[in-house]
Amino acid sequence: MKLTIDSPILKANSDSAIETRKLLSEKKIFALNLLSSPGAGKTTILERTLIILRDKIKIAVIEGDLQTSRDAERIEKIGIPAIQINTDGGCHLNASMIQCALKKLDISELEVLFIENVGNLVCPAAYDLGEHKKVTVLSIPEGDDKPVKYPTIFIRSQVVIINKIDLLPFTDFNLKQVKEDLYRLNPNLTIFELSCKTGEGLNQWTDWLCLQRL
């Protein structure tokens, strides 16, 4: 006998994510899911962003790593509340982890929530965490072939940050080609180019963030 199920395999995660996004939207908290491979510069971008914005916007951060609380500690040093999730081997955050983390945060006057995902260009793309936008960071030393090699994460993102642009003179990274590749995958992408080292491009990114508040 045939039993029709027609159920998404990740339904449990999707349901939790939808619940979270509804809560965040009701409380006017704009949430971003920050993705990249390990070492692309997510935490450093967050540090620079928070230093610029901390007196203008109420922000909190949820950090995700396999182990350690190093990244949450870096954020807390800047005076921003941060909750660390350790996945103990899990290669991505999921929606129920975010729901647990949110219970540990005072979200009463929060305006922006950053979720820094586990460094991984594959699995996190498939897991809705309840965010409003996915931001994928691609750094110059990683090479200019990552969008075509790992298309899904760039298709699923709304924003790409091309980071470490101060290193362009020292590499063969073809910035024009990368942007063509990205727009081919996702014509509606917003792309920022920045350097946390020199500060170039940071203000365009933080100005955009200010405009995203709900």
Rule CB under 8 A: choose which of 81, 151, 168, 179 binds another protein: 151
Q: How far is the CB of 201 from another protein (least distance, A)?
A: 25
Binders in 76-105 for another protein, by CB under 8 A? 91
Residue 158, both tokens = 């709304």
Work out whether 122 is an interface residue with another protein (CB under 8 A).
yes
Alpha carbon distances (Å) from 35 to 39, 135, 166: 11, 6, 21
Measure the CA–CA gap between 33 and 24, rounded to whole angstroms: 13
**Cα–Cα distance for residue pair 74/44, rounded to 1 Å:** 9
**23, 105, 148, 167: which one contacts another protein (CB under 8 A)?**
148
2 binds another protein (CB under 8 A): yes
Take residue 19 and report the two structure tokens written for it: 């619940």
Residue 194 forms beta bridges with which residues?
163
Among 18, 100, 126, 214, binds another protein (CB under 8 A): 126
Position 168 contacts another protein (CB under 8 A): no
Q: How far is the CB of 134 from another protein (least distance, A)?
A: 14
Binders of another protein: how many residues, by CB under 8 A? 27
Contact flag: residue 12 with another protein (CB under 8 A): yes
Closest among 142, 133, 208 to 175, alpha carbons compared:
142
Nearer to another protein by Cβ, of 85 and 196: the residue is 85
Closest CA to 208 of 80, 45, 43: 45
Query: Could you say whether residue 169 binds another protein (CB under 8 A)?
Result: no
* Among the listed residues 145, 201, 137, 202, the one whose alpha carbon sits nearest the alpha carbon of residue 173: 145
Residues found near another protein in the complex (CB under 8 A): 1-12, 91, 122-123, 125-126, 148, 151-152, 155, 183-188
